[in-house]
Every structure is written in C-alpha cells, then in structure tokens.
Chains A and B, each alone.
Chain A
Amino acid sequence: MGLTLEQRRELRRRKDRRDRIVGILAPTFTFVLLLAAWEALVVWLEIPTWQIPRPSSVFAVMFGSFGEFLPHIIRSYSTIIIAFACASVVGVALAAILTNFKALGVALTPYINMLCTTPVITLVPLLLLMFGFGQWVLILAVTLQAFPILNMNASTGFNNVETLKLELMGSLRATRVQTFRHCILPASLPNVFTGMKLSGIFATTACVSSEFSGGNRGLGARIIAYTQFMKMDKAFACIFFVAVIGLFLYTLTSYLETRVVKWKI
C-alpha cells in the first residue's frame, strides 16, 4: 500500500475508462454480428419479406420514412418519459411515507402490490371508454403500471437499513426527516435505482401495450396497423424505435446511478 489516495484513485479511473471502452465496443460488435446473421438467414432461407424483413430494409425505412414515424415517436416517447418521471417521484415519495407511517403502509401496500401484478392493459379499454383517447389517459395508465415496482424496491431499501447505522442517528437524536435524509435515503439508493430501471421497463411495456388496445396514435398503434397491412419492415422499424427509448431510460438510470452512488467502488 505504498500508493497515495490520489494515485489509487487515478489507477481506478484508468481501469474504469478501459472498462467503459470495452463496455461499448463489445456489445456493439455483438449487435452487428446478430444483424448480419439475421440478414444472411433471411436471404439464404428465402424467407418472404412479409414474414420477416431484412434488417437492412428496416434501417432503410427507419431513416427513409422518418417523417411518417415522427409524430408517433413523439407521442410514445413523451408518454413514456412523462409517465416515467411521474412514477419516479410518486414511487419514491410514497415509499418514504409508507415506511415512516407503518399503519398506512400496512393498509396500502397490498393494493400497491396488486397494481403492480395486474397488467395495466386490462384497465386501458375501460379508461379510454371513460375518458376518451386523450394522451393524459395513457400517461395515467402508464404511471399506474410503472410506479409500484419502484415503490416496492424503494420500500425494501428504506425498511432494511442496518440497525447500527440507524442507531447513530438515534444517538444524535436526529429527527425523522434528518434520519431519512442523512441515513435511510443514501443507504437505499442502490434499491431505488434498481426500482427505477425496472420502472422504465414497465413504463415502455405499458405504453406500447396501451397503444395496442386503442387509438391510432403512438408506436404501439402503428405496429398493429403495419402488421395488418403486412408492412413488416415498417412494423419492425417501430419495434426498433420502442427498443431505443427502453434502452435510453435504462442507460440514463445506470448513468445517474454511477454519478450519484460515487462511493461504491
């Protein structure tokens, strides 16, 4: 241990940088390989393009007909992002409240869990019938599906802080708010971020499946429409656009985690 703190940190930073480069290159390589295999299989086996399109034609359509997709991309992405933001706030805030007021937690937790295990798509036709096809109805539905999983993860974190760590706050006679801010929340951040990653996945799934069930706007609705007319290249283009937003939310959360949880080596 002849190294100073700064030297050790520099070594770690260098290692992190190496890991990051490998972390980008390796998956990209896999991606290209998979697409190449897909393209080759479709050509060799002479699969009709109305069954499975070639990735090259999917990409061509994605960029060539981008204007056609754009309003639906905006619609779906905005639904997902707004609902994800709402779910993040509601999920963490509710977990903080429910773990602090035990009786309320016991009273509500089973129903929040039920909300999590019930597919929101079962509610959407009902909601659309009641409130019409406005975007906010979908935002509401997607939020309902996305926040409980975050709430569950955050609650698990908030409830399982080491006794010794809480005792320190107890010995200083910290208030509930101080205890939450200095001890419980930072100790649970890994759980919160896991919850957010899952919440992003839930939001994406919920949005697309909600769009399946009604209306003619959004990527989900387009997938149904294009499939009916056997425009498989366009349907796949929509699937790719959905994949992009899902991946974006996941990557964003992971990035936030590394920035916020910087004490984890």
Chain B
Amino acid sequence: MSNAKIRLVGLNKLFHTRFQTIEAVRNVDMEFAAGDFVSIIGPSGCGKSTIIRMIDDLIKPTSGEIFIDGRRVSPHRRIPPEVIRKIGFIFQQPNMYPWMTVRENVMLPLRVFGLRDPEWARHADALIEMTGLREQRHAYPTELSGGSMQRAGVIRAMVHKPDILLMDEPFGALDEMTREQLNLELLDIWRATGKTIVFITHSVQEAVLLSNRVYVMGTNPGRVVDEIAVDLPRPRNLKLIVSDRFAGYCELLTGRIGQVELSQIK
C-alpha cells in the first residue's frame, strides 16, 4: 500500500548504555492510512514511545525506513521542515512552558515556524475558543487544572494545521473522568478534521474506544505481536463502553497483552 500516510519498514532501535545494549525496538512494520485513528498498546518498555519519537525524528532509528506521504524521511538525513509541519506531537504531560501564558504556549509553534500571518493567530484563537479555554487564555499554566492544561497541549500541537497527530499517552496522568471527557473531545476533533492520529496508550478501554486499529506490542525486545481491527460503529460515545461488543474487544486485547506478559515470565 503506497497511499499510506505513514509507513514504517523493518524499524530497529538499539540503545547503548554504559553497561549494556538494549534492543528497544526490533523489526517493526506499521502502516497508518490517511485519516486513520490507530493506537499502539503494550506494557512499559515495549518501545511504543520510541516508535513515535522515531516518526517525529526526535530519535534516529538504528536501521529501517520511515515514509511519510510516500517520501522516505529516515534514517539517512534530517527530516525536511515541510514534513515536520505535517506533524503535531502531544506529550505524556501537558508540557506547557510555565513562563508563557496559555495563549502564548498555544502560539509557540507558529512563532518557531515563523507563521506571522494574522490568519494563523485567528486560527489559534479559534482553537482556544473551541476547547473552552477563552477565559483562561491569559492565565499561566500553573493556574489551570490538569485537564485544561492537556487541552491546551492538544491544541498547541494542532495550531500549525498538521495532518498527523502523534500522541504519547496524552491523558495517562489525568483522573478517569477527565480522561473520558478528553477522549470524547478528541474523537470530535478527529471527526471534524480528519487528521491521522497515532495514539500511544496502556489503557485497553481507551484504545478500543478511540481507534480503528490497535497494534499490540511486547517487550524484550520491543516488537509488534498482534494487530487488531476494532469494528465498532461511529460516532462513538460513552454508551458504547457498556455494550457487549465493546467488552468483547477489551477482553480480546487484554488477552493478547496477557499472553505477551506470560511468555515473558516463561
């Protein structure tokens, strides 16, 4: 399939520490179609964070290739700027800069990319409006709740209109209720914008609720052990969570992850 938005082919990553070499990722092949919502799930240490950092060129793969829009971007040279603008990265923590107000934080990518047209500022304000942060736009991040901060983190990654959102366990640090709320808001954003989303999580429920497809990863070395399509109707809402089919998918995924962990013990 050459029309994949992102394609990873035979990706390997070795980390060298002073005492040992760790095989973080072994021979990973993945494909993400344009407009797809795909989760990567697995126990800690399975290399899922490493994978999206390699897609974003924050980490160089040891070997293997990464294609974005059919164009090879790794490993031989630096990822070109026009490709970087296609990507928005959302961190585990809100990762707001405490010395900037919420609005300044959201506008930061525009400043770095040199997008000075007032049109962009209006776009930023529209995103702030959409997430209900208008009242707090001149507040400093420490004055916000955890949920509001991560909302700001999400729209900061979207402010330069990227096609791709890479999300590294974005809601992992939030309480259950805030997390569900943000998951639903994310689904709304995805439906409205049609972005390609790669979503890292260790919550089975979250993966099933959000994604079209789930990659299950195992540890030692980090590798893909299964790929499960989630065939549930959209738009999805919290009612879905109590349905039998949802429970079925959760069981299936939990089972696969459980097998991975059992095989580790043996």
Interface of A is mostly: helix
A interface bracket (residues with beta carbon within 8 Å of B): 20 to 34
Q: Which of A116-124, A137-145, A167-175, A196-204 contacts B (4 or more CB under 8 A)?
A: A167-175
Contact residue among B91, B93, B97, B113 (Cβ-Cβ distance under 8 Å from A172): B113
Q: Answer yes or no: B81 CB below 8 A from chain A CBs.
A: yes
Cβ of A182 and Cβ of B135 under 8 Å apart?
A: no
Q: Answer yes or no: A178 CB below 8 A from chain B CBs.
A: yes
Cβ of B97 and Cβ of A165 under 8 Å apart?
A: yes
CB-CB contacts of A238-254 with B at 8 A, as 1s and 0s? 00000000000000000
Contact residue among B56, B108, B139 (Cβ-Cβ distance under 8 Å from A182): B108
Cβ of A187 and Cβ of B99 under 8 Å apart?
A: yes
Cβ of B142 and Cβ of A173 under 8 Å apart?
A: no
Q: Answer yes or no: B136 CB below 8 A from chain A CBs.
A: yes
Cβ of B89 and Cβ of A183 under 8 Å apart?
A: no
Cβ of A171 and Cβ of B58 under 8 Å apart?
A: yes
Q: Answer yes or no: A176 CB below 8 A from chain B CBs.
A: no
Chain B contacts for A170, CB-based, 8 A: 58
Contact residue among A167, A171, A178, A263 (Cβ-Cβ distance under 8 Å from B99): A263
Chain B contacts for A26, CB-based, 8 A: none
Q: Answer yes or no: A126 CB below 8 A from chain B CBs.
A: no
Cβ of B58 and Cβ of A167 under 8 Å apart?
A: yes
Cβ of A186 and Cβ of B99 under 8 Å apart?
A: yes
Q: Answer yes or no: B30 CB below 8 A from chain A CBs.
A: no
Chain B contacts for A187, CB-based, 8 A: 97, 99
Q: How far is the CB of A6 from chain B (nearest CB, A)?
A: 10
Contact residue among A5, A168, A173 (Cβ-Cβ distance under 8 Å from B139): A5
Cβ of A8 and Cβ of B143 under 8 Å apart?
A: yes
Cβ of A174 and Cβ of B112 under 8 Å apart?
A: yes
Q: Answer yes or no: A103 CB below 8 A from chain B CBs.
A: no
Bound together, the chains give a CA A263 to CA B109 distance in angstroms of 20
Contact residue among A171, A173, A186, A265 (Cβ-Cβ distance under 8 Å from B97): A186
Cβ of A167 and Cβ of B97 under 8 Å apart?
A: no
Chain B contacts for A265, CB-based, 8 A: 140, 142-143
CB-CB contacts of A105-118 with B at 8 A, as 1s and 0s? 00000000000000
Bound together, the chains give a CA A178 to CA B113 distance in angstroms of 10
Q: How far is the CB of B85 from chain A (nearest CB, A)?
A: 9
Chain A contacts for B98, CB-based, 8 A: 263-264
Q: Answer yes or no: A32 CB below 8 A from chain B CBs.
A: no
Q: Answer yes or no: A164 CB below 8 A from chain B CBs.
A: yes
Within 8 A of B (CB), among A157-195: 164-165, 167-174, 178, 182-183, 186-187, 189
Contact residue among B100, B112, B143 (Cβ-Cβ distance under 8 Å from A169): B112
Bound together, the chains give a CA A165 to CA B92 distance in angstroms of 12
Cβ of B97 and Cβ of A182 under 8 Å apart?
A: yes
Q: How far is the CB of B96 from chain A (nearest CB, A)?
A: 9
Q: How far is the CB of A170 from chain B (nearest CB, A)?
A: 5
Q: How far is the CB of B114 from chain A (nearest CB, A)?
A: 10
Q: Answer yes or no: B111 CB below 8 A from chain A CBs.
A: yes
Q: Answer yes or no: B14 CB below 8 A from chain A CBs.
A: no
Q: How far is the CB of B88 from chain A (nearest CB, A)?
A: 8
Chain B contacts for A165, CB-based, 8 A: 95, 97
Q: Answer yes or no: B121 CB below 8 A from chain A CBs.
A: no
Contact residue among B87, B91, B111, B112 (Cβ-Cβ distance under 8 Å from A167): B91
CB-CB contacts of B137-164 with A at 8 A, as 1s and 0s? 0011011000000000000000000000
Bound together, the chains give a CA A5 to CA B95 distance in angstroms of 21
Cβ of B135 and Cβ of A172 under 8 Å apart?
A: no
Contact residue among B89, B111, B136, B139 (Cβ-Cβ distance under 8 Å from A171): B89
Chain A contacts for B109, CB-based, 8 A: 172
Bound together, the chains give a CA A172 to CA B83 distance in angstroms of 11
Chain A contacts for B81, CB-based, 8 A: 173
Chain B contacts for A164, CB-based, 8 A: 91-93, 95
Bound together, the chains give a CA A87 to CA B235 distance in angstroms of 62
Cβ of A172 and Cβ of B140 under 8 Å apart?
A: no
Q: How far is the CB of B221 from chain A (nearest CB, A)?
A: 23
Bound together, the chains give a CA A4 to CA B142 distance in angstroms of 14
Chain A residue nearest in CB terms to B135 = A5
Chain B residue nearest in CB terms to A4 = B135
Given A8-B143, A168-B91; A183-B97 close (CB under 8 Å): yes
Using a CB–CB distance below 8 Å, which chain A residues touch chain B?
Answer: 4-5, 8, 164-165, 167-174, 178, 182-183, 186-187, 189, 261, 263-265
List, sorted by A's number, 22 A–B pairs whose CB atoms are closer than 8 Å.
A5-B136, A164-B92, A168-B89, A171-B58, A171-B89, A172-B108, A172-B109, A172-B112, A172-B113, A173-B79, A173-B112, A174-B112, A178-B112, A182-B111, A182-B112, A186-B97, A186-B99, A263-B98, A263-B140, A263-B142, A264-B98, A265-B140
